A and B are shown apart, each in its own frame.
Chain A
């Protein structure tokens, strides 16, 4: 069964701004990435799925419940982590999460137990008794995640959970998201404007742009197309490029560097050998981080 099903889902604001345009997509269970540039319609889609915003046209079902008619039941079974800051500074994480657990219908004793468990799972320990006002961005994101998980939902909708985090915090958050999907057994729909970070944790990726569906595919398919290496050599880049091409590697000069399509591990060996043969210095060899628009361009060029 698909977790989320939309059919011709359209949302226009005041009849002028189009946030979603006839979006038809089936999202499977598991960890699913929803990728799009800012303003692509990700947050609007999430709000419609929660029944917080009525769709202009089309329909959507979450966990086989209709968003227009059964939104209350959906909200019982779904957790939501907003993109923006949404925490009051004057209460502790424990107090807030216990209160919000009750707001999801958990009796007080269960709410306390679940809040303590969940805060521990997201990695908040002693600090959870201190007022939220003094927390770092990383801790705030964890509290936001904990309140989305506290009622043991079947699906969590995470809107840009890595926003504002430093690289280490980003890695922790992504690992946690992976854990939610695999160890906790809760399906995840996570949005991001960065393709690169989601391909590491997602089973499936949905790409939208301007409210339209660009792609919906398993992560393996998507990364197969997108993985690229950036190669920078100290000298004679054109000769390296020629030799690589002769060896059967797809290579394209981009300014001073070369962009190489990564097929498998052997590609690295090939690059190493060619650079050694030409006898130039290897300045940089790096996996490319791709903006989701790259996928779009690639699709357009080589279907």
Chain B
């Protein structure tokens, strides 16, 4: 209703008789909200800088590689699709470290969770939405350069079938990286409610583990113990997923040595699955404790 005089009238309190949508809608809304948040969409300009910068840093090398292949007319890409995420693991690590605390520590630190859990949203649904949003955000970050590489390969008229198969394997691997890293990042962030600490903790855990894995593998190769070098891949989440994608998807290992034999492959896959399950369980445990406080 418009007022002819143009004056503002107090229309009084209006009741809401419209639909109240169920848990699926609520969970989906939280997922979309968190995914947008991971890239700073709908937030201040300042919170867009970090994720978009990292997305650019992640994609620029792929652009350069694609350009080089197109210009020089090379007959293959300089870097396999499956090795790309491991080669740029520092960028991925920083993204997890910056965005996982943004996603969960913020709600915990400012106690916004009490506003969520006093609504129909269950703790399970909250954890699921946050986990899925972080996974998809990471998938976007990791898959974007792979798509760029693939487009470059096609423009350079490299083998269509080989590249299509390889990029599919690469994307499947990207999903694995995203799930494992999202789980780890969120768990670490959820247990360190102060955002600064959360960032530091995620960086420390991921980089230190990668460093240890690399060192052990280096020494083992030096000592000609390829089996030890292979098992050492279990130490870091990056080499762990790399091992899984090399065993399950037949990708070329990014490290000196992939998982040793079929036993190694099964162990790597089981560890990865258990790790994700453990992260989910720990997150649920964390939020059970929160709402009782």
Residues of A within 8 A of B (CB): 50, 52-53, 72-73, 75-76, 78, 80, 82, 84-91, 95, 99-100, 102-107, 110, 114, 117, 121, 131, 147, 151-152, 183-185
B165 close to chain A: CB less than 8 A: no
- Given A53-B292, A85-B110, also A105-B115 (CB < 8 A): no
Besides A76-B120, A84-B111, A99-B33, 11 other A-B contacts (C-beta < 8 A): A75-B118, A75-B119, A76-B119, A82-B114, A86-B112, A89-B110, A90-B43, A106-B16, A117-B14, A147-B115, A152-B16
Nearest A residue to B29 via CB reads A102
28 A-B interface contacts by CB (under 8 A):
A50-B118, A52-B118, A75-B119, A76-B20, A76-B120, A80-B118, A82-B114, A84-B114, A86-B110, A86-B114, A86-B115, A87-B110, A87-B112, A89-B110, A90-B47, A103-B29, A103-B120, A105-B22, A105-B25, A106-B16, A106-B21, A107-B18, A107-B25, A110-B18, A110-B19, A114-B16, A147-B115, A151-B16
Q: Which residues of A contact B33 (CB under 8 A)?
A: 99, 102
- Given A82-B114, A102-B26, A152-B16, also A107-B21 (CB < 8 A): yes
Nearest A residue to B25 via CB reads A105
Is B20 within 8 A of A104, CB to CB?
yes
The 10 closest A-B pairs by CB, nearest first: A152-B16, A80-B118, A105-B20, A184-B13, A86-B111, A102-B29, A105-B21, A88-B110, A103-B119, A82-B114
Q: Which residues of B contact A151 (CB under 8 A)?
A: 16, 20
Write the nearest CB–CB distance from A126 to chain B, whole angstroms. 13
Mostly, the B contact residues are loop
Write the nearest CB–CB distance from A74 to chain B, whole angstroms. 9
Is A104 within 8 A of B18, CB to CB?
no
- Given A88-B107, A88-B112, A151-B20, also A183-B120 (CB < 8 A): no
Q: Which residues of B contact A90 (CB under 8 A)?
A: 43-44, 47, 106
Total CB contacts across the A-B interface at under 8 A = 99
- Given A103-B116, A117-B14, A121-B13, also A95-B42 (CB < 8 A): yes
Write the nearest CB–CB distance from B29 to chain A, whole angstroms. 4
Q: 8 Å CB contacts to A: which residues of B1-50?
A: 12-16, 18-23, 25-26, 29-30, 33, 42-44, 47
Q: How far is the CA of A72 from the CA of B43 in the complex (A)?
A: 30
Q: Which residues of B contact A89 (CB under 8 A)?
A: 110
Query: Looking at the complex, which one of A106, A117, A147 makes contact with B18 (CB distance below 8 Å)?
Result: A106
